[in-house]
Amino acid sequence: MLSTLAFIPVAALPASSFESWGWRLPFLFSAILVVVGLVVRLKIEDPPEFKRARERKELAKVPAAEVFRISAGTVFLGIGACAVGIGMSGMKNPFVLSWATVDLGIARSTMLNILLVTTVVQFVTQPVAAHYARRFGALQVMVGSLVATMLVLVPCFALMGTALPILAGLGLGVLMMTQSGYYAILAGFMAEVFPVRVRYTGISLSYQLAGTVFGAIPIVAQLLLTLTAAVWASVAFYGVIVLISIASVIAIARRERKAPSEATFITSGVNVSESRTREGHRDHRVRGDDGRSADRP
């Protein structure tokens, strides 16, 4: 949302000014967000299970090597699970913005406003999806959202292809709404599938390697558009990316059923770590420190 807002005033510059120096301004101002992010991260406390693992000295000394030793399959499936998380941004901003302004003739300022509105839609949709994931399970909501994306992919691009701003905004908004249900849960989903002692490293490797593998999605989509002179090859290509994420998410969930991690809300709305914590508190109240039964209150 902030990136789109930052580019709206810059887009009002003359074309020569924008191409020579104007496009650099949003990137320069983004340095402020780096400082804000660092301050926020330093003030966030580690989760209880991570604190316990640290107190017991169970954390891996070389987590990058350890995560590939014990969870290599999950890392590679995580790369696939993050594919749409990387691709949705690349398709919406570089690709759709270029296609709409160059090929469809929509004014750049108009298209930036459409992108801003669809980002607001995403911002509103994500908490709703997170709520339903807690209630029904992350797997159901994520796969449902990705399947919905597949169903609306062609109609949404057809609406954008009309070159009418209202219909283009409607098409892009619906597409972002379906993907937001997946994206809202992705981070929590990935956090639940790695053992605590390598969790941060496993999440980071999956996401960063996904960025390396799938970061070229808008470039490939633009190449297909150039070669075929139509958007549908690019749409089909993105559909394949969505299918990769669907298959990877389901495969991770199946692995989780066979070997549950310390905490999971993947297949149900219950967070196991919270239930275990409550059980531990109840057990502590019932038994004394020496393990013998104590009087109930």
Pull the structure tokens for residue 252: 């991770």
Instruction: Of 134-143, 191-200, 231-240, 288-297, give the range with the top mean pLDDT.
Output: 231-240
pLDDT at site 79: 95
Closest CA to 78 of 200, 178, 179: 200
CA atoms of 95 and 220, how far apart (whole Å) = 10
- Residue 42: pLDDT band with limits 50, 70, 90: confident
Whether residue 38 lies inside any domain: the answer is no
Proportion of the chain above pLDDT 70, given as a percent:
83
Is 69 part of a structural domain of the chain? yes
pLDDT at 52 over 70: yes
| Token pair belonging to 234 | 């690019």
Which value, in Å, is the radius of gyration of the alpha carbons in the chain? 23
State the SS3 of the chain: CHHHHHHHHHHCCCHHHHHHHHCHHHHHHCHHHHHHHHHHHHHCCCCHHHHHHHHCCCCCCCHHHHHHHHHHHHHHHHHHHCHHHHHHHHHHHHHHHHHHHHHCCCCHHHHHHHHHHHHHHHHHHHHHHHHHHHHHCHHHHHHHHHHHHHHHHHHHHHHHHCCCHHHHHHHHHHHHHHHHHHHHHHHHHHHCCCCHHHHHHHHHHHHHHHHHHHCCHHHHHHHHHHHHCCCHHHHHHHHHHHHHHHHHHHHHHHHHHHCCCCCCCCCCCCCHHHHHHHHHHHHHHHECCCCCECCCC
pLDDT at 263: 46
Phi then psi for 290, rounded to 5 degrees? Answer: -85, 5
The answer to the question of residue 41 being in a domain is: no
CATH number at residue 91: 1.20.1250.20
Strand partners, 293: 287
What pLDDT does residue 256 have?
Answer: 74
* Host domain of residue 276: 64-286
Contacts of 281 (CB under 8 A, 6+ apart): none
**Model pLDDT for residues 61-85, shown as the tens digit of each residue:** 888 888 888 889 999 999 999 999 9
Residue 244 within any structural domain of the chain: yes
Distance between CA atoms of residues 103 and 118, nearest Å: 20
Residue 43 lies in a domain: no
Residue 224 belongs to a domain: yes
pLDDT tier at 1 (50, 70, 90 boundaries)?
low
Average pLDDT over residues 240-263: 83
Q: Quick one: tokens of 24?
A: 């650099």
Section 150-172 average pLDDT? 96
Q: List residues bridging with 287 in a β-sheet.
A: 293
Tokens standing for residue 246 = 């669907």
Residue 51 lies in a domain: no
Compare 221 and 294 and report the one with higher pLDDT: 221
- Tell me the whole-structure pTM to 2 decimals: 0.76
Please give the tally of structural domains in the chain. 1
Is 200:216 a contact under the CB 8 Å cutoff? no
Q: What is the pLDDT of residue 295?
A: 39
Alpha carbon distance 110, 100 (integer Å): 10
> Half-sphere exposure of 136 toward its Cβ, with a 13 Å CA cutoff?
13
Q: Is the pLDDT of residue 104 over 80?
A: yes
Indicate whether 46 belongs to any domain.
no
pLDDT at 4: 66
